[in-house]
Amino acid sequence: MKAGVEGGSKELRFTVRKARPEEIYIVMDINQRTLPENYWYGFYKFLLDNWGEAFLVAETSEGDIIGYAMSRVERTRDPVLLGLKSELENDKSVLSKVIDAIRSQLAEERPVGHLVSIAVLPEYRRKGVGSALLAKTIEVMDRVYNVDAIYLEVRVSNAPAIRLYEKFGFKKVRVWRGYYRDGEDAYIMVKRLVD
Ligand SMILES: CC(C)(COP(=O)(O)OP(=O)(O)OC[C@H]1O[C@@H](n2cnc3c(N)ncnc32)[C@H](O)[C@@H]1OP(=O)(O)O)[C@@H](O)C(=O)NCCC(=O)NCCS
């Protein structure tokens, strides 16, 4: 995937491609510089070994890695994670909630993509890199992993990321109280890929 994007006064040329195993340390470095949610080497390796097509890096024409996105595939019968219903809609009656709960217990498990982490180095933001990483993630999840939906967690205060996700059709479907280690709540956002 080739993308050339006008950003500020100078043009940023970059590509989005699969990460190579030796690039895990670069991805770890970007993650530590940009997000408080950090992971150990083995977790990156696990994602790369199992869902390598969806472990992506953005590389400039000068060969610098400036962003990444990494995902996994899970199986669930949770209709919220599958994008079949939202908990943020108008309150339903107790009876329809009970019916929903029974229905989801009886439903079969389906594959769902989980965007674990995405980040772009601060000096390269607002130039389309995050969009290119997210677009490729959605494409790979659909074409390679055949998932029904993609979901992610995002801090309720992270307006830039929420706007990016909404631009790509993700919807807020659940609030996860105290999800983050510092106590902040997360929105679960979902994009359904099949009818
Ligand atoms: C979220 C992030 C990946 C976006 O990357 P990016 O390369 O700047 O994204 P893009 O340039 O493709 O922006 C796409 C859209 O997202 C929204 N957006 C991005 N940054 C924004 C900001 N600071 N304020 C408001 N909207 C913003 C806009 O709608 C933007 O489109 P526009 O530039 O046409 O208005 C980046 O800000 C980042 O790395 N943040 C820190 C890590 C993080 O929070 N990751 C998400 C964890 S859930």
Global pTM? 0.93
Q: Within 13 A of 7's CA, how many CA atoms are on the CB side? A: 14
Q: Which residue lies with its CA nearest to atom 23 of ligand 1?
A: 160
**Measured in angstroms, how far is the CA atom of residue 126 from the centroid of ligand 1?**
6
**What DSSP letter does each residue of 149-188 carry, written as one string?**
EEEEEEETT-HHHHHHHHHTT-EEEEEETT-STTS--EEE
The per-residue pLDDT string of the chain (195 residues; one tens digit each, 9 = 90 and over) reads 445 444 334 689 999 999 999 999 999 999 999 999 999 999 999 999 999 999 999 999 999 999 999 999 999 999 999 999 999 986 678 888 788 778 777 889 999 999 999 999 999 999 999 999 999 999 999 999 999 999 999 999 999 999 999 999 999 999 999 999 999 999 999 999 998
Domain count, the chain: 1
**Which residue lies with its CA nearest to atom 5 of ligand 1?**
130
Counting atoms of ligand 1 from 1, which one is nearest the CA of 158? 44
149 beta partners: 112, 192
Distance from Cα 156 to the centre of ligand 1, integer Å: 14
Q: Which two tokens stand for residue 94?
A: 């107790």
Cα(161) to centroid(ligand 1), Å:
5
Tell me which residue range forms the domain holding 85. Answer: 2-192
Residues whose beta carbon lies within 6 Å of some atom of ligand 1? 34-35, 118-120, 125-131, 154, 158-161, 163-164, 167
**Which residues lie below 8 Å from residue 97, measured CB to CB, with a gap of 6+?**
none
The torsion angle over the Cα atoms of residues 151, 55, 44 and 20, rounded to 10 degrees, is 180
User: 125 CA distance to ligand 1 centroid (A)?
Assistant: 7
CATH number reported for the structural domain that contains residue 42 in this entry: 3.40.630.30
